[in-house]
Chain A
């Protein structure tokens, strides 16, 4: 079984809709991250959480919100989706304070 899972894997939605992407991990890590990947831009950090009570904005948090429901679960929400949020979204986890992160398989989101 995968250590970091993401649901859904693919999603097509319309402008203005609310959508939630979910991430679960069985690695027992405290730290979780949400990234988006766009061609030619690499991965950019949206939000991160160092424990259940800790939520922090990344470099591109506008238009997104997150919820850390438990150590193992970290959800990303788009309250009102817009087309330029079409991207590949990755969840990641890390344990030790050294940057070593483990990634989920990604969610491909298309906003029409």
Chain B
């Protein structure tokens, strides 16, 4: 079965600074990869997804993620953080052998300071 690790539980970043959230997965082949964001009191919103092809994926709200097969990673980045980016971020993977059911990481909480 697949598994997902988000090594950082909490990250604090200044508004306007860059942000990178780490995600590592365990699976023998290339899974389908997702980043979701959960704003306080809200449900999960899809930021971006990777199925195949170009390893640099653009998402909503100015986010991008890069799939690196050699490192089994799918890190999320944003060049300049806005106060509204304060939220919890989840990485998830789905694989065909598991009917594409998603396995989620534990999440990374992002705090944005003025």
Contact = CB atoms under 8 A, between A and B. Distances in A.
B13 interface: no
Interface stretch (A14-22, A76-84, A102-110): A102-110
Contacts of B42: 105-106
B43 A42 contact: no
B32 A105 contact: no
B106 A103 contact: no
Interface string B25-48: 000000010101000001111100
A45 B103 CA distance: 8
Contact of A97 (B9, B44, B100, B104): B100
Contacts of A106: 42-43
Contacts, number: 56
Interface residues of A, number: 24
Contact of A99 (B4, B90, B94): B94
Contacts of B49: 100
A79 B94 CA distance: 30
A103 B9 contact: no
A101 B107 contact: no
B94 A42 contact: no
Main secondary structure of the interface of B (DSSP, over half): strand
Interface residues of B, number: 24
A30 to B, nearest CB: 12
A48 interface: yes
Given A42-B4, A90-B43, 14 more contacts: A42-B90, A42-B105, A42-B106, A42-B107, A43-B90, A44-B104, A45-B102, A98-B51, A99-B32, A99-B92, A99-B102, A100-B34, A103-B45, A106-B43
29 contacts: A40-B106, A40-B107, A42-B90, A42-B104, A42-B105, A43-B44, A43-B92, A43-B102, A43-B104, A44-B104, A48-B101, A90-B44, A92-B44, A97-B99, A98-B94, A99-B32, A99-B92, A99-B100, A99-B101, A99-B102, A100-B49, A102-B46, A103-B36, A103-B44, A103-B45, A104-B43, A105-B42, A106-B42, A106-B43
